[in-house]
Structure 1
Amino acid sequence: MGGCVSTSSRSTCSSRSNGEPVSPACLGRGCCGQKRSKRTFSDHVVTMHNLPSIPNRVFMNGKSRSSCIFTQQGRKGINQDAMIDFMSEDVTFCGVFDGHGPHGHLVARKVRDALPIKLLSFLLSNQSKQHESGRTCFKGNMKKSDGTDSEKDGSAEDQLTSLWREAYMKSYKAMDKELKSHPNLDCFCSGSTAVTMVKQGSNLFMGYIGDSRAIMGSKDTNDSLVAIQLSVDLKPDLPRESERIKRCKGRVFALQDEPEVPRVWLPFDDAPGLAMARAFGDFCLKEYGVISVPEFFHRTLTERDQFIVLASDGVWDVLSNEEVVEIVSSAPTRSSAARILVDSAAREWKLKYPTSKMDDCAVVCLFLDGKMDSESDYEEQGFSSATLQSNHSGNANESDDGQKSEPSLQRNFTVRSSDENDTYSRVLSADDEGNGETIAAEDQNWSGLEGVTRVNSLVQLPRFSEERPNP
């Protein structure tokens, strides 16, 4: 779900590990320029570029001090979902990224790795400008001091929200710009969604594009657990999204054989068929209404708020918000909640769509009281000691786009015939992360691009944006 298709015969486009607390220089200094060291802004940015070696960063199946994450490959090829949980002091950053198109898995990973750095960089830059102008310094937990009236508190909270809003807007814009100019990553017909969240004290800040979703499990006045949706699935048929796309000459319609999936099409060709209105990448549609501007959301958390779930659309296609809250809350251990949720989604795919191939699923479960199970055995979740060591080691491997990436475990695959190996090796060689399950023998006939394009061969769209004749 959430990919691109083409009906044209001429052109086709598919669309923390546990460890010691991280250095205060990394994502999560208090939103206040208190003098803790003589480090400069540039020092912070340089430190953030060592993000892959920071121990409190989880990007594969596992858990941290207050969250767990899990992803499972679907039946459409390479797992194009990515996720991250990053903690520092009183700040937690979580994100889920769902790639689509021939290079969608690379786009999702690139955004996963680069976006937190950009977000912090712009936040620190904005803080520095505020301090230089003599504005009031404030902390993220927004605790009221004696004698402080509500008007001043409101003003301080507004300033904090404004800082994060601006940081989100600038970082998403910069992320898309970097993807467009990336020398080794073609994002013309590939892209990624993003739903990202920052918890700072009792404040929750969120920015999102695409159709990945965030919900919260919270207790109502009767102490019953209810689901609260925190984000909106930015589909092309939403009135405001559709109007923008049509103003930009893009087209929005669904195919006859899938009337429930509205897609974005070029004005002069039935391609690429993007099933979302906002995304990173997808530059073939950026002039026709698809944007990377995030929706921003702020919420003040209370004691009634229990946990937050971020997930890709592979989960939401088969499970409701209420079902997700019920599954997470009833998990035998908190550290297993994400895995159990993905397992539940996989079962629902088989029941509801027996003739369709399951989509990739990625889940982040954050428990807001900051508590986790006591050091439960990783074997219960299928995590080996090698997984833990790989998350802690500072060694970097070469990634698909020529950049240094984190150490990872390789996925295990079933044995195929020599003919099949020739077909699949080119696709699987790009997938360097062990975040999928073993593929059963009866599912060996999957295609690396199935679910993204309706043909077996991919013909790249021409770079028409510069050659389009003037009206």
Structure 2
Amino acid sequence: MVEAAAGRRSGTCRRRPSGGGELQRQQLLHQRLLAAHVAMATTAAGAPSGTGGRCLEDFADCLLGVLRALGLTSWAAARPPQGQPRPPPPRGAADARRLAAELRAVPGRIAGNGASAVASLYTLQGRKGVNQDAMVFWENFCSRDDTIFCGVFDGHGPYGHLVAKRVRDLLPIKLGADLGMDEDRETSTSNIKSNANQVGSQEHIDRGNTTISTGAEQNGEYPECFPALRTSFLKAFHVMDRDLKLHKNIDCFFSGTTAVAMIKQGHNLIIGNLGDSRAVLGTRNEINQLVAVQLTVDLKPNIPSEAQRIMQRKGRIFALPEEPEVARVWLPKYNSPGLAMARAFGDFCLKDHGVISMPDVSYHHITEKDEFVVLATDGVWDVLSNDEVVSIVSRATSQASAARFLVESAHRAWRNRFPTSKIDDCAVVCLFLNMDEETESSNPMANNSANSAEVTSNQPSATTQLNTGSSADIVTAMVTDGNEPFVVEAIAKPVTHAKDG
């Protein structure tokens, strides 16, 4: 009997394994014991020169997870370092609250339900427990008037909600830290430029009535800024994943999050994609009809290039009998954890078996025909097509209400299509393009709405005004905490597909 998947589900089948809290605790303990057994066997079998310390550390981490599951945290907290420098102490609750307060005070940043002159954000909890989705919009990113950052993050696993929120808060800071460095520096990006050319040579992919762009820019070559921006995305995602691995207050062994992070700089869109959340563009075609163009590829385990990497690292890919359309990633010898995506932050039980945190970075040049971009977690895409999403956003009574209108439409679609299934969490960011900058800057109501504070999903209509007099030096101050330089060792190949039919 195949064990129930511990990872997040995806696809159209909504049947979930049932069981109480004690059963889930026993399953988590069982998974930890299996992982500890694997690490012990690896250590006993002998590792290549220079990797023995890592094997011992992995075994110790697995054992630490078992002790946590048993509730023996006092001994675990006192575990001394094993030949490694002691990591810096984790942020306490007071530091976490201070960080959250400082971020809420940043002018132009929205991390909850709200709207600005150019964006609309909304999230709604499903029927599966705590809302594990997160989102963020940040105007005047890196203190640049022409730059916006926005992203959505879909957590999964026991602590997925904590992972998603931490990535939401820290990923833009880490990305901004690299973008804020000397812009005239020489970057050794020969491999990146070569790879960017490969991305640019890809054709668009037709899926039914929807065009999917895998990063190829149909209007010309990449701008000169793209290689450096792509490098910044790769570095920021790498540092973010390392931060999660070293974080002792969030157990990311069986928990993680997706990410679709986008920077709009002038007429340039740069998107970093990890997992199966999605970015879709609403644009006008030759006959002025509004159509959908998918800007990212859902990085599922059954994509050939993703499957090849996973199987080369001894990971296994198969679907459960009760959801045959959902391919999942499993450990080499055990039917666990069953992750329904090929790339993610966290999920360190599978990081040695092909699941990576390196984003697929794509580019799009904004034209006068482009109207808006929708970033959404898979709770939306599981029940609505790209064209339906674009149509729903275009029919919203106002741009400020567009995200809420879309999320509520997705919930209705869940109830109609899957009446016996639990509705998934949904999070949406709608970014509107080609706005009249003079109108925006002269509209005090719009400027004030950009300072909406983070609110809980239980109070979707509430907004709070932030203190716009806070210091802009906050980003620099937070970035310097544990952000060490590093070198990206490899560049992921762009995801490619053949045209259907």
- Which TM-score band (shorter chain)? 0.5 to 0.7
* Contact 1:62–1:383, Cα closer than 8 Å, also in 2: no
Determine whether 1:186 maps to 2:251. yes
- What letter corresponds to residue 266 of structure 2 in structure 1? G
> Hey, what's the Cα distance between the residues in 2 that align with 1:207 and 1:50?
25
Structure 1 counterpart SS, 2:324: coil
**Which residue in 2 is equivalent to 1:226?**
291
Q: Name the CA distance, whole Å, in 2 between partners of 1:385 and 1:361.
A: 16
* Matching residue of 2:428: 363
Q: What's 1:78 paired with?
A: 130
Give matches, 1:297-446, under 5 Å.
297-370=362-435, 375=445, 387-389=463-465
Give secondary structure in 1 for the equivalent of 2:301: coil
Q: C-alpha separation between the residues in 2 aligned to 1:48 and 1:199? A: 24
Root mean square deviation, CA, Å: 3.3
Amino acid at match of 2:125: Q
- Residue 51 of structure 1 and its aligned partner are, at CA, apart by 3.6
Alpha-carbon distance change, 200 to 249 in structure 1, aligned in 2, over 3 angstroms = same
Q: Report the counterpart of residue 23 of structure 2 in structure 1.
A: none
SS at match of 1:244: helix
Compared with structure 1, are the counterparts of its residues 79 and 307 closer, same or farther at alpha carbon in structure 2 (3 Å cutoff)? Answer: same
Distance 2:279 2:101 in 1: 27
What amino acid does structure 2 have at the position aligned with 1:60?
G
Alpha carbons 1:92, 1:198 under 8 Å: kept: yes
Q: Amino acid of the residue matched to residue 3 of structure 1?
A: R
* Alignment match, 2:334: 269
Residue 47 (structure 2) aligns with: none
Which amino acid in structure 2 is aligned with residue 345 of structure 1?
A
The one-letter code of the counterpart of 2:8 is G
The amino acid that maps onto 1:84 is V
| Aligned counterpart, 2:227 | 162
Measure, in 2, the Cα distance between the counterparts of 1:227 and 1:337: 16
Partner of residue 119, structure 2: 67
Q: What does residue 140 of structure 1 align with?
A: none
TM-score (norm 2): 0.63
Structure 1 residue 3 corresponds to structure 2 residue 8: yes
Residue 450 of structure 1: aligned partner: none
Distance 2:236 2:169 in 1: 13
SS in 1 for 2:148: strand
Match of 1:173 among 238, 251, 257: 238
Unaligned ranges ≥5, structure 1: 14-46, 132-153, 396-402, 404-471
Shift of residue 12 of structure 1?
4.3
Which of the two has greater helix per residue? 2
2:460, 2:261 → 1: CA distance? 28
CA distance in 1, matches of 2:122, 2:255: 23
Separation of aligned partners in 2, 1:222 and 1:195: 30
Cα distance, 1:316 vs structure 2: 0.1
CA contact (8 A) 1:6 1:273 kept: no
Name stretches of at least 5 consecutive residues in structure 2 with no aligned partner. Answer: 10-15, 19-25, 33-98, 188-219, 450-456, 472-477, 479-501
1:287-302 aligned at under 5 Å gives the runs 287-302=352-367
Identity of matched residues, %: 51
Cα distance in 2, alignment partners of residues 6 and 117 from structure 1 = 37
Query: How far apart are the structure 2 equivalents of 1:391 and 1:60?
Result: 16
Query: What residue is the counterpart of 1:52 in the other structure?
Result: 104
Equivalent residues of 2:104, 2:466 under 8 A apart: no
AA at the equivalent of 1:361: C
Q: 1:391 to 1:74 in 2, by over 3 A?
A: farther
- Structure 1 pair 325–391 and aligned structure 2 pair: CA distance change class (3 A): farther
Please state how far the C-alpha of 1:164 moved relative to its aligned partner: 0.4
1:98 aligns with 2:174: no
Following superposition, the deviation at residue 125 of structure 1 comes to 2.7
Q: Which amino acid aligns with 1:97?
A: F
Distance 2:413 2:243 in 1: 38
Task: Name the CA distance, whole Å, in 1 between partners of 2:239 and 2:352.
Answer: 17
SS of 1:159's equivalent in the other structure is coil
Q: Is the 8 A contact 2:275 2:344 kept in 1?
A: yes
Cα deviation 1:48-85 (Å, max 9, x = unaligned): 99543212000010001200000000000000000000
> What SS does the aligned partner of 1:127 have?
coil
Specify which of 171, 185, 189 is matched with residue 115 of structure 1: 171
| Alpha-carbon separation, structure 2, partners of 1:50 and 1:208 | 27
Q: Distance in 2 between matches of 1:173 and 1:93?
A: 18
Number of corresponding residues: 339
